[in-house]
Structure 1
């Protein structure tokens, strides 16, 4: 793993490195074959110069990447699509982009994403899929929808990959690529200037290389200071929901997750399995497509009427599910979500955090989920079935936190020789600091096993 943001900042402030040197190395990484497909637009020359006095700013003049759905002044915001490729340029930076720049971050490019952020797989038929840098056997998916954000960070082209998380779009690629992805409580970061998928569930957040980098990135994006006061492990009570979230784990993920639980128990933490029956009602809440389908259809309906054939068919299918939702069904969903959150808060209130595998699988091969090409209808149907089955599994665990209006962090828990697996530390709204503190302690427990 390339050195993290905090280590690099310390090297700059100690005089062992300069911001331009670090930025130059990142730009070289961005041009490398491994990272090339991570960017839909890569910036060069005067566009990637550290600001004056960068070394004294929180991000120190170091590189960050921006998911293609955020406004950058003077550029269109295509969101990984063809239909918005020639849209009018943004008048100003999205607040999240502006905050990164004000903190000394240098934007090195716009990153690959699932079209309109509507899948956890990370494929997009309009652009070549960036292969997961952690896989050396066969090309594997990076996860999505913030696919390029993850690959840019994993390859060393950026220290912070700005993205969005509506059902896991930060945590899924972080888990599959061996990175850290923090989804804060949604209200803590501004979503203006980011093309919406679901105004109810969207969260602006980032992928980093370590938990401490995630803390710094969150402080910049939220404009708040995170408490660093960690409680001793023996004082922590951690819940492991057994309903659904532990189903269908592949061998690598199951082994890595049990390893984490064992380390926490050996450190003195109380780790308890909890049924959390309320999770059984979640699929019923979203049977008609949920918030994402209804709210994305409201945004896309005019474009679909005039340019629907230019959409990714898999994305279009999911958006158009929202066309059939009636007003009373949407209002019932809002009400039912409030009641479900109350049930979850009652069931989890006695725990300092919950622990789950971020996703139940390691990254599958890209070829198994390739878009339909029209040459063999039977093969196309099989790939579509595999895609939607994989997408549902990838979204299953992380999407719980979005519906909960909660916060969660995925951190890598695999060891050398294994494909990446992530553990998710999570809880309800505004428990962000506690979740980050526990993740930091778990990262330290895992470090010797992971070779750090």
Structure 2
């Protein structure tokens, strides 16, 4: 697959034009079922024409002027309807202006190709959508697998090579999980990294944004562009100066699939051999966060119910995905005192993990398992609920503690399905994390070239 940075190099060298990029991307989008809820064809063509003219005049807005990307249909793009993956919003008004991050990318000349599919209201880690269909990867496996959610379409748009990058949202794992299932790099930022104006909310305390791409370097470049910068200030650090803590409590979980565990340990052995300090030990704050979620419930669910209750209990409620509706209703009666305790405990745990890691990078599997088969989950709601919770169980930790995280492919299992390792830092240390992940990527690439 051609990366975003490689595409920028091709534009700089005159080997392609924005017109050609958009023509190819539109053709691929039209040939890929269920990936997009809407394709912004006319805007893309018009923007590409203007961008091509700028390149001919030497007046390009940035190195990425004219490069198409995909947008999760939870972000406003002027002139399109933000459906949030729900037919209950079929009559929602058209957006009159771009979301803040879309406006930032447009100022650099990047072109939104279309609005990608997602779990209804972004409320599941598996990615199924009964209203708009469920996008699937083009990896040849024994049976159809879930794409991961909720940012399913954004991940598949990149996995299939329709675009080199895409934007998703992540409240409990919605970037990191589909990245893991599809062999992509996915970066979930700290919640205050980007402006959230024009983003349809789910749980305002936990909602965050981030990019999908084939490389960490592309994610770093798109992260900068989403904040209005032409050039990323983040650069790789010396791997020998990095400290990693592999959470032994998670890596020893009996529910962890063997390939997920082995591929993570092999990755860390490579980093250790290259000079990184790798420590394997239980992380107490992680264990206590898992206990808090299991015992008292999910803060994101409480906030989602508060926001979506009028839809669930209104006349449109029966039109919703029954699985999403049931999960939302399950928290309807939670005592406000329980929510207050969760918030108090959350603050304590955020402080605790800051002290416990002491500047080190936390390492865990992104998901305990590879992408599960889709068909059994369509018909068995109890199975769906159980698998969904297990799929979200590790990424929810970082979400509750507002930890930025980068999911990096770690290998394949015996049938060719992707596994993934999640690297996380504490709240606000996004630049440190991205710098480290650039060093990780360079080390892994060098190891691949030697084999």
Q: What's the TM-score once normalised by structure 1's chain length?
A: 0.91
Distance between the aligned counterparts of 2:133 and 2:424, measured in 1?
A: 33
Secondary structure, counterpart of 2:138 in structure 1: coil
In the alignment, what sits opposite 2:429?
Answer: 431
Tell me which of 24, 37, 41 is aligned to 1:40: 37
In the alignment, what sits opposite 1:376?
Answer: none
Query: CA shift at 1:141, angstroms?
Result: 1.0
Give the direction of change, closer, same or farther, for the CA distance of 1:149–1:413 in structure 2 (3 Å limit).
Answer: same
Q: Count residues in correspondence.
A: 437
Tell me which of 269, 272, 282 is aligned to 1:265: 272
Query: CA shift at 1:245, angstroms?
Result: 5.0
Query: CA shift at 1:218, angstroms?
Result: 0.7
Unmatched segments (≥5 aa) in structure 2: none
Secondary structure, counterpart of 1:328 in structure 2: helix
Secondary structure, counterpart of 2:313 in structure 1: helix
Distance between the aligned counterparts of 1:195 and 1:251, measured in 2?
A: 38
Q: Indicate yes or no: 2:122 matched with 1:117.
A: yes
**1:329-369: CA deviation from partner (whole Å, max 9, x where unpaired):** 22222111101111111111142x11111111111111121
Distance between the aligned counterparts of 2:249 and 2:137, measured in 1?
A: 30
User: What does residue range 28-427 of structure 1 map to in structure 2 within 5 Å?
Assistant: 28-32=27-31, 35-48=32-45, 49-50=47-48, 51-52=50-51, 53=54, 55-223=60-228, 226-244=232-250, 246-247=252-253, 248-286=255-293, 287-306=295-314, 307-351=316-360, 353-370=361-378, 372=379, 383-414=380-411, 418-427=416-425
Taking only aligned residues, the RMSD between alpha carbons, in angstroms, comes to 2.0
Unmatched segments (≥5 aa) in structure 1: 373-382
Distance between the aligned counterparts of 1:123 and 1:340, measured in 2?
A: 32
Give the direction of change, closer, same or farther, for the CA distance of 1:285–1:226 in structure 2 (3 Å limit).
Answer: farther
Secondary structure, counterpart of 2:172 in structure 1: coil
Instruction: Kindly indicate whether the alpha-carbon contact (under 8 Å) linking 1:30 and 1:156 is maintained by their aligned counterparts in 2.
Output: no
Instruction: Kindly indicate whether the alpha-carbon contact (under 8 Å) linking 2:39 and 2:115 is maintained by their aligned counterparts in 1.
Output: yes
Query: CA shift at 1:7, angstroms?
Result: 0.7
Secondary structure, counterpart of 2:82 in structure 1: coil
Distance between the aligned counterparts of 2:148 and 2:63, measured in 1?
A: 29
Query: CA shift at 1:424, angstroms?
Result: 1.0
Instruction: Kindly indicate whether the alpha-carbon contact (under 8 Å) linking 2:136 and 2:146 is maintained by their aligned counterparts in 1.
Output: yes
Secondary structure, counterpart of 2:332 in structure 1: helix
Secondary structure, counterpart of 1:256 in structure 2: helix
Distance between the aligned counterparts of 2:96 and 2:21, measured in 1?
A: 30
Q: What's the TM-score once normalised by structure 2's chain length?
A: 0.92
**1:379-417: CA deviation from partner (whole Å, max 9, x where unpaired):** xxxx22221222122212222111111111011121697
